[in-house]
Structure 1
């Protein structure tokens, strides 16, 4: 009987390892996707600076009053 419980524990550990591995891969893919999106949003104006038509010029600074 101890052999069957040992097999169950071993299968349980293997299942947990596979779930953690899948979660790690998913988190890595999500991190890469989020980094690419952030890079695109922040630096796309450098690629198309001549075609950038913003209602507010980029050179102006805004000073927000502190309440």
Structure 2
């Protein structure tokens, strides 16, 4: 009934994903390629989780 009051986990995860991409970009600009690649890999893993969560929400 009050589903509109629940926080949206996808929205929170997308916000974290965007922050990770920004961190990766800044690491790349600093020339820290190792950190850039690690953060990018973590961000891609998070994106996979987001897509899976969206799929499960759509199927309900």
**Class of the TM-score when normalised by the shorter of the 2 chains:** 0.3 to 0.5
By percentage of residues, which structure has more helix? Answer: 2
